[in-house]
Amino acid sequence: MELWFSEKHTENIQFQIKLEKQLFSGESDFQRIDVFQTIDFGKMLVLDGVIMTTERDEFIYHEMITHVPMAVNPDIKKILVIGAGDGGTVNQLIKYDSIERIDVVEIDKMVVDVCKEFFPMASSFDDERVRLFYADGLRYIRTVQNEYDLIIVDSTDPFGPGEGLFTKEFYGNCYKALNADGILVNQHESPFYEGDAMAMRRAHQRICSVFEVARVYQLHIPTYPSGHWLFGFASKKHLPEPRAERWNMLGIQTKYYNTNLHKGCFMLPTYVTNMLKSVEK
C-alpha cells in the first residue's frame, strides 16, 4: 500500500508527497506536530497539516532568511529569532563567529523537542551563544527596546499560533526592539495563490507603515504553495544591498545564497511589483 501526505494549497489544488513512514505524531498545547520520512525529500516537519520544512529543501529557506541581512550588515552581533523551532535558521546563523548572541523565542517547546530528535539542524540550539525562550513572540517583543541588530521572524502562516506575528502591533514593537542599525526579516508568504497573496499584501502594507525601508525578495521552495515564496526586508536605514566583498571574505559555505543572487532576488516579477505598489503609500 502506498502512503501519501497531501496539503491543500487552494480549494482546487493539492500538493502530494510520497512517504516511507510516519516518524512522529503528537498534539501540543498549540498545534498538531507530525514528522514523516518521505521518499524524495528526507524527513519532513508538518504543523497543523502544513509543511514547514524538509531535509532536502530547508537550505533554501534558511540560507535566504539569514545570509541576506548578514551580508547587508556583517557587523550584526545581537539577533532575535522568533519562531524557528526546527533550528534551521539558527543553524545558518551560528556559521558567523562575529555573532555574539542569538535569542530564540519559540512558542511551542514540543516543536523544539521533536526537531532535536529528528533533525540534525536542531542541534544548533546547543551553541553557547543561543538563549532559547519558550514564549509567545508577540508578548515577548512588547518587553524589549533598542536591543537587537537583527530580528528574524521565521513563523508559520498567519493563522493559528503565528497569527499575531503578522499584525501592525507586532511590527511596531519590532521597530522599537531594534537599534538604529536594525533590520527585520520576515517570512512573507507567497504572491501566487490569492489567499497567500492577500496575506502577503497585508503584511507589506503594515511593515511599510512602520519602517523607513521596506522591500521584498523572492526565493523558490519546492514544497510550499506554488513554489514561489517571499521574504520581507525592513530597516531603519539600511538598503538591502550586500557588502559583497566583505561577505565573500568570510568564507561562509552556502548551497543557495550568494551575493549575486542577493542582488537578483530583489528584482521581482511585474505582477508582484504591482501588488506591492498597490499597498504602498
Catalytic positions: 154
Task: Quickly list H helices, 94-146.
Answer: 109-118, 137-142
Residue 115 identity (one-letter amino acid): C
Q: What is the DSSP letter of 24?
A: E
| 15 vs 140, beta carbon nearer ligand SPD | 15
Q: Using CA atoms, how far apart are residues 274 and 200, in angstroms rounded to an integer?
A: 13
Following CA atoms 27, 130, 215, 45 in sequence, which dihedral angle do they give, to the nearest 10 degrees?
Answer: -30
| 103 vs 154, beta carbon nearer ligand SPD | 154
| 88 vs 232, beta carbon nearer ligand SPD | 88
Q: Residue 243: name the closest of 228, 229, 263, 224 by CA.
A: 263
Q: How many CB atoms lie within 10 A of CB 275?
A: 18
* Torsions phi, psi for 70 (to 5 deg): -70, -30
Please answer whether residues 179 and 147 qualify as being in contact, where contact means their C-beta atoms are separated by less than 8 angstroms.
yes
Give me the least distance between CB of 245 and ligand SPD, in Å please. Answer: 29
| 106 vs 149, beta carbon nearer ligand SPD | 106
Binding site for ligand SPD (CB under 6 A): 50, 52-53, 61, 84, 86, 88-89, 154, 156-157, 187, 224
